[in-house]
Chains A and B, each alone.
Chain A
Amino acid sequence: MIFSRKPPLIVGLDIGTSAIKIAVGERRADGGLSLMGSHRVESRGVRKGEVVHHAEASACIMQAVQEAEEALNMEIGEIELALTGGHIDSANQRGTATVSSETHEISEEDVEEAVTNARAGVLLADGKVVLHVVRQQFYIDGKDGVANPVGLLGSRLEADAHCIYGIGTRFQNTLNCLHERRETSVDVNNWVFSGLASSLAILDRHDKELGSIVLDIGAGTTDYVVYAKGMIRQTGVLAIGGDHLTNDLLLGLKLQSRRRAEAIIREHGSVWLDPTVRGKTVKVKTSDLLADRERTFQLEHIHVVLNARMDEMLRIIRDRVFSQGLNDLVGAGVFLTGGCARLPGLVELTQSIFEMPATLAAPQGFDGQVEQFAEPEMSTVVGLVKYGQIKRGEAHSQRGIGAYVRRFLGMAG
């Protein structure tokens, strides 16, 4: 087996606040992506996208990996891991390099130098580490709009790079959970910002060129990524998600159990305030300290509580994106994905707040077992496999030190 020419499978692991998801796929000979199977277990010890209870989270991850191995009849050795958390932020920087060769032909090394200098320009507070340096565009002797300058002539090369960074120890909390499994050794190939992974899964080249905003609304966090002119321009995380909806409703309706609140959101939830629901009621079984009883709630109350939360969350992200002046560069609109994106009324609410088209988006651009992956909550984990596939493609096409460094810096397509 070791000498088999067949490249190993690509495994994505998404340690989410509500569920741990694993997806397995392979890079087809033609460079495309084929997905083969997935597994999902309920998550514990994770809050707001980060591990807060090491033992619980480790146990869940171990269970997920083992079950996936059995279900898919394979051994999981290397994974692509998604990372998120409210501490993640991003910055755009420009770096410069003087072209070193006598012929003024720009080499991969010159490109690396310019990108490294761009990265060095991002001033990070103590303890922050860079997760991704994504190349945006290049300038040769001041002339912009160059996507790949290698082989072109010039004397001065500038690179725009988008750096995604966060607090190292917080990432480590999640990484440490994988070390529990030393006996079967799961190694991390790449760690990927989960918002970036989601955007890879749902956007095609066209969406990126036109400009789009991806909102991945999970249970713990909402990750956002903004593309304009084919480049990533802004990324970030707001640690608000479905758990906040649950908690708000729990307090608002004075419910006793979290599960009850989640069930009410599933069955009766909407974030769009529709005047026709006024006066309508729903009956819900609740248990008191003493006995089971049935309570009647105004549907409007449920919607008001949920609307307030999502309205606020969307406005915060809108303000962050618009403050960078990116609104005029987004032509395709907002893509809503993640486990909470299905909430009724969310598309309408997003359209009214962002004043641009919004759509519910699920992973696309792969073959294999399409149905089980074409769900909004699968975006991150499918994106991870896609990320792995892109990396393999890069490694395939350009071996050598340059590819190694690019891998090391963790660049995405």
Chain B
Amino acid sequence: MTPFMSTNSPSPQKNEKSGAAPRRAPIEKKVRIKVVGVGGAGVNAIDRLVLDGFDEVSLLAVNTDAQALASSVVTEKLQIGENLTYGLGAGGDPQIGRFAAMEDIEQIRDFVEGYDLVFVAAGMGGGTGTGAGPVIARVAREEGALVLALVTLPFTHEGKRRMEIADDGMQTMRDSADAVICIANDKLLALADEETSVLDAFRPTDEFLSNGVRKIWQMLTRTGLINIDFADLCSVLRRQSGETLFGFGEGQGDKKVEMALQGALSSPLLNDSDVLAKSESVLIGVTHGPDFTMPQLKKLFDRMHEQLGAKVACKQGIVVDENFRDRLTVVVIASTGEAIVTEKPSVRPTKKQPETTKQAPARGQAPPIVEGSPEEQTLRKGLRRKGVAEVVDQPKQETLKLDDTTLGLFERVERTVVNGEDLDRPTFIRRGIVLKNI
């Protein structure tokens, strides 16, 4: 199943056993992030991360097509559904993509296990991304991760049928991941001019995905003047059924505030731009240089709030970076959060980050935030456990239940293993029986 698997994930320590003298050694708070690219488009997107030289997060390329997978620059690879597709890809059939993921679900589980935040990047409309993407998202969520799906929708000119498959896939993805950020390829046409080659036309998508991962990583790992941490991200995104918006912008010079806001709020790649007005919770991360003034900051937030609804819960984070003299970046993550009210607020570990004025220690490279409090650990555990529990008894599972029957009956039960052989996998597949012309 994994002919060219290299190293098995750089072992994110599984839930450290607590109680082992948490007081003496301050616990390193490092959010463990995994980015999984599924199918052709997904793998292209994470290839972009490697090409951009970003090596702070763990990457995994997943595909049914052995050849496409072999050409990826990512080191960690997983070929799924070899018995179903013989390494030839899913042929545009999401059902095959889904079964392929089911076939190797335990390996997928091994890969995503132990991560706090998992991005699943996939293109909708084809076979592997559409079918396997949601399965991977769901497995990651079952393992307790916050799962953020980054998906692309096909061009309209690719045909109605493809668009319908994509819409179906999107729906399944919404049920499977905590939040889905959606990019319509059609919007790319708006960016392209007469001269743009087809190859270049896809670049913005990949760059957007790559940028998105990096910005979120930075936001979570850098110690700011006002911090945004993983709990904040969870509170905005965990189990959202509504729309999710993700945008970022950069600005320079006199107009930097306007430029950054423009980029963050009206990214042409975002599918639905009026999400912001409807949103119920928003995270705003700002990185600026030491020369940034208070009136400028006020202007930034005032402008931002003009776009937001009145009831919005807003969490702001500010990082001061020596390298950002006369520069500014703004990251916005918002969700309309229709489902959020059904959750019991008492269960949610709303840890308010004390607004301490910590000195940003190093610049350029962000050191991991060091936190010594045992509560921090409990919180993290709580979040993880909560994630798992939700998978089990969310009312939303009604839709997932349907999936259960098609995804295999033995997904959540103890495997039947005799003499080291997993008997839950179909016998005919293990015996290498080929059914022709199915």
Q: How far is the CA of A383 from the CA of B4 in the complex (A)?
A: 53
- In the complex, the answer to whether A290 meets B405 with C-beta atoms within 8 Å is no
- In the complex, the answer to whether A48 meets B413 with C-beta atoms within 8 Å is yes
Q: How far is the CA of A305 from the CA of B428 in the complex (A)?
A: 6
Q: Enumerate A9-53 residues with CB–CB distance to B below 8 Å.
A: 47-48, 50, 52
- In the complex, the answer to whether B435 meets A301 with C-beta atoms within 8 Å is yes
- Chain A residues, Cβ within 8 Å of B433: 304-305, 308
CB distance from A243 to the nearest CB of B (A): 5
CB distance from A84 to the nearest CB of B (A): 13
- Chain B residues, Cβ within 8 Å of A311: 427
- In the complex, the answer to whether B405 meets A257 with C-beta atoms within 8 Å is yes
Q: How far is the CA of A247 from the CA of B425 in the complex (A)?
A: 9
- In the complex, the answer to whether A86 meets B428 with C-beta atoms within 8 Å is no
Residue from A239, A256, A316 having most chain B Cβ neighbours under 10 A: A239
CB distance from A321 to the nearest CB of B (A): 14
Q: How far is the CA of A289 from the CA of B166 in the complex (A)?
A: 11
Q: Enumerate B390-424 residues with CB–CB distance to A below 8 Å.
A: 405-406, 408-410, 412-414, 416, 418, 423-424
Q: Does B95 contact A (CB under 8 A)?
A: yes
Q: Enumerate A225-241 residues with CB–CB distance to B below 8 Å.
A: 238-240
- In the complex, the answer to whether A256 meets B406 with C-beta atoms within 8 Å is yes
Q: How far is the CA of A254 from the CA of B103 in the complex (A)?
A: 13
Convert A281-319 into 0s and 1s, putting 1 for each residue whose CB lies closer than 8 angstroms to a CB of B. Answer: 000000001100000011001001100110110001000
- In the complex, the answer to whether A47 meets B427 with C-beta atoms within 8 Å is no
- Chain A residues, Cβ within 8 Å of B438: 252-254, 297, 301
Q: How far is the CA of A202 from the CA of B410 in the complex (A)?
A: 30
- Chain B residues, Cβ within 8 Å of A309: 426-428
* CB closest chain-A residue, reference B416: A239
- In the complex, the answer to whether B99 meets A256 with C-beta atoms within 8 Å is no
- In the complex, the answer to whether A238 meets B418 with C-beta atoms within 8 Å is yes
- In the complex, the answer to whether B405 meets A47 with C-beta atoms within 8 Å is no
CB distance from A330 to the nearest CB of B (A): 22
CB distance from A46 to the nearest CB of B (A): 10
- In the complex, the answer to whether B410 meets A304 with C-beta atoms within 8 Å is no
- Chain A residues, Cβ within 8 Å of B428: 248, 252, 304-305, 308-309
- Chain A residues, Cβ within 8 Å of B435: 252-253, 298, 301, 304-305
Q: How far is the CA of A392 from the CA of B412 in the complex (A)?
A: 40
Q: Does B431 contact A (CB under 8 A)?
A: yes
Q: Which of A86, A251, A290 contacts B414 (CB 8 A)?
A: A86
Q: Does A206 contact B (CB under 8 A)?
A: no
Q: Does A370 contact B (CB under 8 A)?
A: no
Q: Does B94 contact A (CB under 8 A)?
A: yes
Q: Tell me whether A254 and B95 are in contact in the complex, defined as CB-CB below 8 angstroms, given that A290-B164, A304-B433 are known contacts.
A: yes
What's the A-B contact tally at a CB cutoff of 8 Å?
94
- Chain A residues, Cβ within 8 Å of B168: 289
CB distance from A255 to the nearest CB of B (A): 8
Q: Does A258 contact B (CB under 8 A)?
A: yes
CB distance from B430 to the nearest CB of A (A): 8
- Chain A residues, Cβ within 8 Å of B408: 247, 250-251
Q: How far is the CA of A239 from the CA of B413 in the complex (A)?
A: 11
Sort chain A's interface into a size bin.
Answer: 20 to 34
- In the complex, the answer to whether B406 meets A250 with C-beta atoms within 8 Å is yes
* CB closest chain-B residue, reference A310: B427
Q: Tell me whether A316 and B412 are in contact in the complex, defined as CB-CB below 8 angstroms, given that A254-B96, A256-B406, A308-B433 are known contacts.
A: no
Q: Does B165 contact A (CB under 8 A)?
A: yes
- In the complex, the answer to whether B423 meets A248 with C-beta atoms within 8 Å is no
* CB closest chain-B residue, reference A247: B409
Q: Does B429 contact A (CB under 8 A)?
A: yes
Q: Which of A47, A253, A256, A308 contacts B410 (CB 8 A)?
A: A47
- In the complex, the answer to whether A305 meets B405 with C-beta atoms within 8 Å is no
* CB closest chain-B residue, reference A237: B416
- In the complex, the answer to whether B410 meets A247 with C-beta atoms within 8 Å is yes
Residue from B102, B164, B438 having most chain A Cβ neighbours under 10 A: B438
- Chain B residues, Cβ within 8 Å of A239: 414, 416, 423
Convert B59-81 into 0s and 1s, putting 1 for each residue whose CB lies closer than 8 angstroms to a CB of A. Answer: 00000000000000000000000
Q: How far is the CA of A248 from the CA of B431 in the complex (A)?
A: 12
- In the complex, the answer to whether A254 meets B409 with C-beta atoms within 8 Å is no
Q: How far is the CA of A309 from the CA of B433 in the complex (A)?
A: 12
Q: Does A174 contact B (CB under 8 A)?
A: no
- Chain A residues, Cβ within 8 Å of B96: 254
- Chain B residues, Cβ within 8 Å of A254: 95-96, 99, 438
Q: Enumerate B168-212 residues with CB–CB distance to A below 8 Å.
A: 168
- Chain B residues, Cβ within 8 Å of A342: none
- Chain B residues, Cβ within 8 Å of A86: 414, 416
Q: How far is the CA of A247 from the CA of B161 in the complex (A)?
A: 28
Q: Does A156 contact B (CB under 8 A)?
A: no
* CB closest chain-B residue, reference A288: B95
- Chain B residues, Cβ within 8 Å of A244: 423-424, 426
- Chain B residues, Cβ within 8 Å of A117: none
Q: How far is the CA of A258 from the CA of B409 in the complex (A)?
A: 9
Q: How far is the CA of A316 from the CA of B435 in the complex (A)?
A: 24
Q: How far is the CA of A242 from the CA of B251 in the complex (A)?
A: 63
* CB closest chain-A residue, reference B429: A251
- In the complex, the answer to whether B416 meets A240 with C-beta atoms within 8 Å is yes
Q: How far is the CA of A257 from the CA of B414 in the complex (A)?
A: 22
CB distance from A47 to the nearest CB of B (A): 4
Q: How far is the CA of A309 from the CA of B413 in the complex (A)?
A: 19
Convert B282-297 into 0s and 1s, putting 1 for each residue whose CB lies closer than 8 angstroms to a CB of A. Answer: 0000000000000000
Q: How far is the CA of A289 from the CA of B163 in the complex (A)?
A: 12
A residues lining the B interface (CB < 8 Å)? 47-48, 50, 52, 86, 238-240, 243-244, 246-248, 250-254, 256-258, 289-290, 297-298, 301, 304-305, 308-309, 311-312, 316
8 additional A-B residue pairs with CB within 8 Å, beyond A248-B427, A254-B95, A312-B431: A48-B416, A244-B424, A247-B410, A248-B426, A254-B96, A289-B168, A305-B426, A308-B431
Q: Which 6 A-B pairs have the closest CB atoms?
A: A248-B426, A308-B427, A239-B416, A308-B428, A258-B405, A47-B413
Q: Give 22 pairs: A residue, B residue, CB < 8 Å, sorted on A.
A: A47-B413, A48-B410, A50-B413, A240-B423, A247-B408, A247-B410, A247-B424, A248-B428, A250-B406, A251-B103, A251-B426, A257-B405, A258-B405, A289-B164, A289-B168, A301-B438, A305-B426, A305-B428, A305-B435, A308-B428, A312-B427, A316-B418
B residues lining the A interface (CB < 8 Å)? 84, 94-96, 99, 102-103, 161, 164-165, 168, 405-406, 408-410, 412-414, 416, 418, 423-424, 426-429, 431, 433, 435, 437-438
